């Protein structure tokens, strides 16, 4: 925690869209008269049929339900493309920067309209209709945005799967939502390395029956197998399709997309977002949080495989008619100046990135930053995990040269868009604090028993009322939606995050309080990694916890008990690490595997994770009461063999 505070620069409070007084007024209006506030905000979109009802929501079991603008009709793609054509058809919608500096691509709104319409027709020609699911497994290339928008145009529901997931993880996600069609590329490129996307799809489809067609983008030109009757080249499909495709009128509550995310238990959940409320939220937060002005070059460095990419690379930015930068690569290729060179190349005004990348770049020294200009930057953003004050200060002083406010945006896949953040013209900045709630967000901090804690305090973060961008259900399991989020503290949405509120009313997210860990801003369920480990023939039992990691924020610490007669060798350790990468994907690579003859359990057989966490966190002076363990001596062995991180 840091005590530093940076006041709002005078030119920001004088010129920003939202200054301190306006924030207060709008926050109060959204809280007290949501109908009036949201009726006005929803006018930022074009409605095919205007809504008459604004909000119809309840978090209580008896009448549980979440509906916004429920009798309105609109089309999300038309809002992101068609309505901009009159004024900005020839302005650039997407700037694409490839993995290695070279042939960038600029796509105007007119071109975007044609690309998306052709692809929408190609989808229809291949049997995809309103309500059908389409899985998108692509690198960060413009086709990812085309694919999402083409689905939205015809009312198909997209499920984007991050290119770093394994065939198994991909297959599970395809199967869960019964996708009809997959859109992929021959290969992806990241930092010069090829990612075998099409081969992964082939592997995944061996066990999924629902998919009848695969559209394949020629990207690297690498050699791949094409299956007759199933696989179709993307370029051929769109060349054969008409550029004229009317946008399907959709009810505000019709699904827009599914995005799988990890929770504390079970397999990943298909978070479902719908059309009207989500787009209002995406567009509003993009405008106010980033103080977005027409003509700004906006760069959100997240992958479209995550919600940040959905809401700010694609939907929020394009709904506002922005020029959005899509970057295929990584911050350290070909060198550590890459981000800031891209900023200079396109004169980026707003840059939005993840703390994990900043920490990695900070370690390489200031020279990589300082040899670039960055004069175009006006605002910086942070997302995905708590930003430590050192990284914040570096971002502020070195990258932003003390000129650019930092918006530290706290939100989740479930929330659709930013929930808490400083607003650059309204909120003095405290390094590491997500500051204050967005309009319509009512945060509450409770203790473990659900008692509401007032004033300066520390506890679990809940939201007491609905906002338009809220997820509507878990795909195929509405009961799981209710159980997961609304039963821990009845009548409230429980975020899973710990939170502190200081004497000035600023919120500080302290990290997950459930069995979810945040590795380099990627959300992982410990249970998923455990089940991958126990699926290995030599493993009897596994327990996974987070541990502090200087670059990743949190690392993955796995305790593994082998089957009787198996030897804990270095070779087996390496094999298990590879195994998890293969089962889930490289993002789940364990940082530490500690072989443990036994795990600490209560007499009723429950693993005491608290103890495992303390050991992984190197907080061993503070193990708490271990007398309730079935065999307290287990802890001695764990302590003796714990692995400290470099
Ligand atoms: O723990 C919080 C952390 O990321 C979680 C949500 O992860 P995901 O659904 O993948 O969405 C990430 C992008 C919005 C949260 O429960 N988190 C996200 N942003 C912040 C954060 N923690 C602290 N500060 C943030 N700005």
CA atoms within 13 A on the CB side of 345: 19
Q: Identify whether residues 444 and 570 lie together within a single domain.
A: no
Same domain, residue pair 269 and 409:
yes
Binding site, annotated residues for Mg(2+): 534, 536, 539
In this structure, the answer to whether residues 428 and 492 fall within a common structural domain is yes
Protein residue closest via CA to atom 13 of ligand 1: 384
409-463 per-position pLDDT tens digit: 999 999 999 999 999 999 999 999 999 999 999 999 999 999 999 999 999 999 9
CA atoms within 13 A of residue 559's CA, in its CB half-sphere: 26
| Ligand 1 touching residue 261 (CB < 6 A) | yes
The CB density around residue 88, as the number of other CB atoms within 10 Å, is 18
* Helix, strand, coil distribution of the chain in percent, nearest 5: 35, 25, 40
Q: How far is the CA of 411 from the centre of ligand 1 (A)?
A: 5
Which pLDDT band holds residue 622 (cuts at 50, 70, 90)?
Answer: confident
Whole-model pTM over 0.90? yes
Please state, in angstroms and rounded to a whole number, the distance separating the CA atoms of residues 234 and 226.
12
Q: Is 512 in the pocket of ligand 1 (CB under 6 A)?
A: yes
Ligand 1 atom having least distance to the Cα of 495? 16
Q: How many whole angstroms separate alpha carbon 358 and alpha carbon 108?
A: 31
CA of 585 to the centre of ligand 1 (A): 20
In-domain check, residue 287 = yes
pLDDT of 547 above 90: yes
**169 C-beta closer than 6 A to ligand 1:** no
Q: Whose CA is nearest to atom 11 of ligand 1?
A: 412
* Binding site as annotated, residues: 190-193, 308, 332, 384-386, 408-413, 497, 512, 520, 523, 534, 536, 539, 581
pLDDT digits (tens, 9 = 90+) for 319-369: 999 999 999 999 999 999 999 999 999 999 999 999 999 999 999 999 999
CB of 263 closer than 6 angstroms to any ligand 1 atom: no
Residues 465 and 402 in one domain: yes
Q: To the nearest whole percent, how much of the chain has pLDDT over 70?
A: 100
Total number of domains in the chain: 3
| Ligand 1 pocket test target in 301, 383, 410 with most atoms within 8 Å of CB | 410
Distance 123 CA to ligand 1 centre (A): 33
Atom of ligand 1 nearest to the CA of 523: 10
Q: Whose CA is nearest to atom 15 of ligand 1?
A: 412
Q: Which atom of ligand 1 is nearest to the CA of 409?
A: 26
Pick left, alpha or beta for residue 13 (phi over 0 → left; psi -120 to 50 → alpha; otherwise beta).
Answer: alpha
User: Does the C-beta of 518 come closer than 6 Å to ligand 1?
Assistant: yes
Q: Are both 329 and 462 inside the same structural domain?
A: yes
Indicate whether 212 pLDDT > 60: yes
Residue 423 C-beta-side C-alpha neighbours within 13 Å: 28
* Domain match, 241 and 263 both: no
CB of 586 closer than 8 Å to CB of 164: yes
**How far is ligand 1, taken at its centre, from the CA of residue 128, in Å?**
33
Q: Is 146 in the pocket of ligand 1 (CB under 6 A)?
A: no
Q: Residue 376 belongs to what domain range?
A: 10-78+254-511
User: Are 351 and 468 part of one and the same domain?
Assistant: yes
SS (H, E, C) 117-185: HHHHHHHHHCCCCCCCEEEEECCCCHHHHHHHHHHHHHCCEEEECCCCCCHHHHHHHHHHCCCCEEEEE
- 65 belongs to a structural domain: yes
- Quote the tokens at residue 577: 């690490």
Q: Find out whether the beta carbon of 496 lies less than 6 Å from any atom of ligand 1.
A: yes
On whether residue 157 sits in a domain, the answer given is yes
Domain shared by 449 and 573, yes or no:
no
Shortest-distance atom of ligand 1 to CA 387: 24
**Ligand 1 pocket mutation, candidates 271, 309, 385, 516, criterion most atoms within 8 A of CB:** 385
Model confidence pLDDT, tens digit, residues 146-179 = 999 999 999 999 999 999 999 999 999 999 999 9
Output the residue whose Cα is nearest ligand 1's atom 26. 410
Whether residue 95 is contained in a domain is answered as no
**Is 90 exceeded by the pLDDT of residue 265?**
no
The residue from 487, 511, 535 where one domain ends is 511
Is 646 a domain residue?
no
**Does 173 reside within a domain?**
yes
- Tens-place pLDDT, residues 471-527: 999 999 999 999 999 999 999 999 999 999 999 999 999 999 999 999 999 999 999
Q: How far is the CA of 284 from the centre of ligand 1 (A)?
A: 19
Query: Residue ranges for the binding site for ATP?
Result: 384-386, 408-413, 497, 512, 523
* Same-domain status, 452 and 476: yes
Mean pLDDT, the chain, integer:
96
Going by their DSSP bridges, the two strands 452-453 and 250-251 should be labelled as: unpaired
Residue 626 confidence class, pLDDT cut points 50, 70, 90: confident
Residue 612 resides in a domain: yes
pLDDT in tens, 33-74: 999 999 999 999 999 999 999 999 999 999 999 999 999 999
User: What number does the ligand 1 atom closest to the CA of 511 have?
Assistant: 1
Q: Which CATH number covers residue 60?
A: 3.40.50.12780
Q: Is residue 276 part of a domain?
A: yes
CA 416, CA 419: separation in Å to the nearest integer?
Answer: 9
Closest C-alpha to ligand 1, atom 18? 384
383-408 pLDDT, tens digit each: 999 999 999 999 999 999 999 999 99
User: Residue 104 Cα, ligand 1 centroid: separation in angstroms?
Assistant: 31
In this prediction, residue 645 carries a pLDDT of 65
Question: Is 473 touching ligand 1 by the criterion CB < 6 Å?
Answer: no
pLDDT at 646 over 70: no
Are 411 and 339 members of one domain? yes
Residue whose CA is at the smallest distance from ligand 1 atom 12: 384
Identify the pLDDT of residue 625: 83
If asked whether residues 431 and 577 sit together in one domain, one would say: no
CATH code, 538: 3.30.300.30
Token pair belonging to 545 = 């916890």
**188 C-beta closer than 6 A to ligand 1:** no
* Ligand 1 site, residue 392, Cβ cutoff 6 A: no
By alpha-carbon position, which residue is closest to atom 23 of ligand 1?
A: 386
In this structure, are 270 and 245 located in the same domain?
A: no
Q: Which mutation among 261, 353, 411, 421 tests ligand 1's pocket best, with the greatest number of atoms within 8 A of CB?
A: 411
Quote the pLDDT of residue 394. Answer: 98
Give the pLDDT confidence score for residue 233 in this predicted structure.
Answer: 98
- 474, 491, 511 — which closes off a domain? 511
CB 549 within 8 A of CB 616: no
> Final residue of a domain: which of 511, 545, 575?
511
């Amino acid at each position: 925690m840091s005590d530093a505070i940076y006041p709002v620069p005078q030119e920001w409070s004088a010129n920003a869209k939202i200054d301190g007084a306006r924030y207060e007024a709008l926050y109060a209006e959204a809280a007290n008269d949501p109908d009036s506030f949201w009726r006005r905000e929803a006018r930022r979109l074009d409605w095919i049929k205007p809504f008459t009802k604004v909000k119809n929501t309840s978090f209580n079991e008896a009448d549980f339900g979440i509906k916004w603008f429920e009798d309105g009709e609109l089309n999300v793609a038309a809002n992101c493309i068609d309505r901009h054509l009159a004024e900005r058809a020839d302005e650039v919608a997407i700037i694409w920067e490839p993995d290695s500096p070279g042939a960038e691509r600029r796509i105007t709104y007119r071109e975007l309209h044609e690309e998306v319409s052709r692809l929408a027709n190609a989808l229809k020609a291949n049997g995809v209709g309103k309500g059908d699911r389409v899985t998108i497994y692509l690198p960060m290339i413009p086709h990812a945005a085309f694919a999402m928008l083409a689905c939205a145009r015809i009312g198909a529901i997209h499920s984007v799967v991050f290119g770093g997931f394994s065939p198994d993880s991909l297959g599970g996600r395809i199967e869960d939502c019964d996708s009809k069609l997959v859109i992929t590329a021959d290969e992806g490129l990241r930092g010069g390395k090829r990612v075998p996307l099409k081969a992964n799809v082939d592997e995944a489809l061996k066990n999924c029956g629902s998919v009848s067609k695969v559209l394949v983008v020629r990207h690297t030109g690498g050699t791949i197998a094409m299956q007759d009757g199933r696989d179709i080249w993307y370029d051929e499909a769109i060349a054969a399709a008409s550029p004229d495709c009317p946008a399907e009128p959709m009810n505000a509550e019709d699904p827009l997309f599914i995005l799988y995310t990890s929770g504390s238990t079970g397999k990943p959940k298909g978070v479902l977002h719908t059309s009207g409320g989500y787009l209002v939220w995406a567009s509003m937060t993009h405008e106010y949080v980033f103080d977005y002005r027409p003509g700004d070059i906006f760069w959100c460095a997240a992958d479209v495989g995550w919600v940040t990419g959905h809401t700010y690379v694609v939907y929020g930015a394009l709904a506002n008619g922005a020029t959005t930068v899509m970057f295929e690569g990584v911050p350290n290729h070909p060198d550590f100046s890459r981000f800031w060179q891209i900023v200079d190349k396109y004169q980026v005004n707003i840059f939005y990135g993840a703390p994990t990348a900043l920490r990695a770049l900070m370690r390489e020294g200031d020279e990589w930053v300082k040899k670039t200009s960055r004069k175009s930057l006006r605002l910086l953003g942070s997302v995905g995990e708590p930003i430590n004050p050192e990284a914040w200060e570096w971002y502020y002083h070195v990258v932003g040269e003390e000129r650019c406010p930092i918006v530290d945006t706290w939100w989740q896949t479930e929330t659709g868009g930013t929930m808490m953040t400083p607003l650059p013209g309204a909120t003095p900045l405290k390094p590491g604090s997500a500051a204050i709630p967005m309009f319509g967000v009512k945060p509450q901090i409770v203790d473990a028993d659900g008692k509401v804690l007032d004033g300066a305090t520390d506890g679990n973060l809940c939201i007491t009322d609905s906002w338009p961008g809220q997820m509507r259900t878990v795909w195929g399991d509405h009961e799981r939606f209710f159980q997961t989020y609304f039963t821990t503290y009845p009548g409230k949405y429980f975020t899973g995050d710990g939170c502190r509120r200081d004497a000035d009313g600023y919120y500080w997210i302290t990290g997950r309080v459930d069995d979810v860990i945040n590795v380099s801003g990627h959300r992982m369920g410990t249970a998923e990694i455990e089940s991958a480990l126990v699926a290995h023939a030599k493993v009897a039992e596994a327990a996974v916890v987070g541990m502090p990691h200087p670059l990743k924020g949190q690392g993955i610490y796995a305790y593994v008990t082998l089957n009787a007669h198996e030897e804990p060798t270095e070779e087996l350790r390496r094999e298990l690490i590879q195994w998890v990468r293969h089962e889930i994907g490289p993002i789940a690579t364990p940082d530490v595997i500690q072989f443990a003859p036994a795990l600490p359990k209560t007499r009723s057989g429950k693993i005491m994770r608290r103890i495992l966490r303390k050991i992984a966190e190197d907080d061993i002076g503070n193990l708490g009461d271990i007398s309730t363990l079935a065999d307290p001596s287990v802890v001695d062995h764990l302590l003796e063999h714990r692995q400290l991180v470099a």
